[in-house]
Chain A
């Protein structure tokens, strides 16, 4: 099973709203990732969790707040977003074995900020 699930599939939110994106994997992967992707561009890394600890924050604005409650779950809390934050948000997971770090992506959440 190489499935990563994400909810919701679509989200429309106002600039004053608070919402959360959720991601789940049951492959026993100990690294989980959040990416942001604009149309027809490659994904851009936002955050990396290794063994449930935040290991990389790619200078993401504080209006995005990640959380890793356990080894299978990853959340992204959203607050006071801007219209330019509208994008496809992707979750991914991978093993942490050196040189075997192929990442498996979820289907994404299409976020629209109005």
Chain B
């Protein structure tokens, strides 16, 4: 079935460092979404990408929809302690369901 391979699974970084995570798939998708989830809370939509090659920023976050439509990356610049959480990539399949990556758990050391 369709699946998203998200990496890395976890990251331990120093405050102020830049972060990069990515998702790949063997299938083509028309939408790439990036969510952040804090413990005990629901996922919050960070960035939505709808066009191949699209590069979108949201504050310190930048995400790109790969030109092949099979991958996407999320970068966080100058990380701060509140960036801690689990980041999920997700795509819509033909049936309108969301397919999620397994998540990247980010820890930031002050």
Contact = CB atoms under 8 A, between A and B. Distances in A.
Nearest to B92: A101
Contact of A42 (B50, B95, B101): B101
Contacts of A108: 40-42
Given A40-B105, A42-B102, A101 B31 contact: yes
Contacts of A103: 33, 45, 90, 98
Interface residues of B, number: 25
B51 to A, nearest CB: 10
Given A2-B45, A102-B33, A104-B45, A42 B97 contact: no
A106 interface: yes
Given A101-B31, A101-B96, A110 B43 contact: no
Given A40-B105, A101-B31, A107 B42 contact: yes
Nearest to B32: A102
Interface residues of A, number: 27
A21 B95 CA distance: 26
- Closest CB pairs A-B (n = 4): A42-B100, A105-B42, A102-B48, A108-B42
29 contacts: A2-B45, A4-B42, A41-B103, A42-B100, A42-B101, A43-B43, A43-B98, A43-B100, A48-B97, A50-B96, A56-B95, A56-B97, A88-B42, A90-B42, A92-B42, A96-B96, A99-B30, A100-B31, A101-B31, A102-B31, A102-B33, A103-B33, A103-B90, A105-B35, A105-B42, A105-B43, A105-B44, A105-B45, A108-B41
Interface of A: 2, 4, 6, 31, 40-43, 45, 48, 50, 56, 88, 90, 92, 96, 99-108, 110
